Amino acid sequence: MIVRDRPSALRLFFILRGSVLPRIWMHLAVSTLLALLVTWTDGQLGHHKLHFTTTPFTLMGLPLAIFLGFRNNAAYDRYWEGRKQWGELVLRSRCLARQCLSLVAPGAARDGAAPQARIVRRAIAYAHALRHRLRDVPDGAPDADVAPWLEPAEWERVRALPNVPYALMLEMGTDLGHCLRTGRLDACLAPSIDASLSALTAVAASCERIRGTPIPFSYTLLLHRTAYLYCFLLPFGLVDTIGYLTPVVSAIVAYTFFGLDALGDELEEPFRASDNGLPLEALCRTIEIDLRTALGDRDLPPALLPENYRLS
C-alpha cells in the first residue's frame, strides 16, 4: 500500500510509484501513435476517408464512464471489505490474548508451555499463516513466520495439511477444551473465548470468499473491449474537428479510460503483494507486537514502516 502525503501540483505528474501508468503505458503509446497516424493521414485509410462525427463517441463514452465507475466501486468495496476483515483480525487477536491470559487459571505447563500461552502464540502464527494462504506464498516461507510460534512437533503436524490457519484453529480449540475439562476455565467463561476463536475463523472465511470470488469475467471483458475500441476509434472522430490536437486529446482520454480499467484490476485483488495491495505484513507485525506484549515479552520487533512510500 502506498503511504505518502499528497505531492505538489507539479510533482503530481512525475510520480510513478503507485501509479497505474507502468501497467498501461504500452496501450497508451499504441493509442497515441494511432492518433498521430490518423492526424498525419487526415483520417484516410488508403483511398477511403473514414469520417466519424463526435456523436457516437459521446453516446458511447458516457455509459462507458458510468460502467467503469460502477466496476471500480465494486472493486473498492472488495478492497475495503478486506481491510475491515483484517481490522477485525487485529481486534479479535487482542481480545483472545486478554481472555486467555486473564480468564484461564495458571497451572502446570503441558508439552512445553501453558495452554493459554500456546493459544496466544498460535494466534500470532494464525495471522502469518492466513497472510501466506491469501498471497499464495511459496513453500518454505512459512517456516520463518509461522514455525517459531509453534512447538516443533505441532508445526510438523499442521504444515502438511491443506489449510494451515484452520489446522491452527483446531489446535487452539483442543487446548481450550483441555482447560475446560481440567477446571482451569469456568464453564460460564468458555463461550466468550470460543466466540473469539469463531470470529477469527470467520475472518479467514471472509477473506477466502473475497479472494476466490472475483468480479464476473464477462463483465470485466466487456469493459476491456469497449474501452479499447473507444480509445482506438476516437482519433477518427476528432481529426476533422480539432486537427493537430487530436493526439493530445486522444492520449488524455486513453489515459483516463485505460487507467480506470487498470485501477479496477488492482483494487479487485486486495490481498495481492502489490503497490496498491493491503499491507498484510504490517498488520501481522502489529498483531505480533501486541500479543508478545501481552505474554510479557519485552524484546519486541519494531513496527513496519513504509519503504520508498510502500507499506508491505
Contact partners, residue 22, CB within 8 Å, separation at least 6: 16
Mean pLDDT of 33-40: 90
Lowest mean pLDDT across 53-67, 92-106, 226-240: 53-67
CA–CA gap between residue 94 and residue 120 (Å, rounded): 9
What pLDDT shows up at residue 190?
A: 92
What pLDDT shows up at residue 290?
A: 96
Question: In the predicted model, is pLDDT for residue 107 greater than 70?
Answer: no
- Beta bridge mates, 113: 110
Distance of CA 265 to the CA centre of its chain: 11
Lowest mean pLDDT across 26-40, 101-115, 195-209, 284-298: 101-115
What pLDDT shows up at residue 50?
A: 67
What pLDDT shows up at residue 275?
A: 85
CA–CA gap between residue 200 and residue 127 (Å, rounded): 9
Mean pLDDT of 10-26: 79
Highest mean pLDDT among 15-24, 263-272, 287-296: 287-296
What pLDDT shows up at residue 3?
A: 81
Higher pLDDT, 5 or 34: 34
Mean pLDDT of 197-209: 97
What 3-state class would DSSP assign to 44? Answer: strand
What 3-state class would DSSP assign to 185? Answer: coil
Question: In the predicted model, is pLDDT for residue 152 greater than 80?
Answer: yes
CA–CA gap between residue 302 and residue 282 (Å, rounded): 10
pLDDT band at 9 (very low <50, low <70, confident <90, very high): low
What pLDDT shows up at residue 278?
A: 93
Mean pLDDT of 143-151: 89
What pLDDT shows up at residue 218?
A: 87
Mean pLDDT of 84-94: 97
Task: Tell me what percent of the residues of the chain surpass a pLDDT of 70.
Answer: 92
Question: In the predicted model, is pLDDT for residue 261 greater than 70?
Answer: yes
Query: Which amino acid, residue 118?
Result: R
The residue among 247, 282, 254 whose CA lies nearest residue 83 is 282
Question: In the predicted model, is pLDDT for residue 21 greater than 60?
Answer: yes
Confidence (pTM) = 0.88
Lowest mean pLDDT across 3-12, 85-94, 122-131, 247-256: 3-12
Question: In the predicted model, is pLDDT for residue 76 greater than 90?
Answer: yes
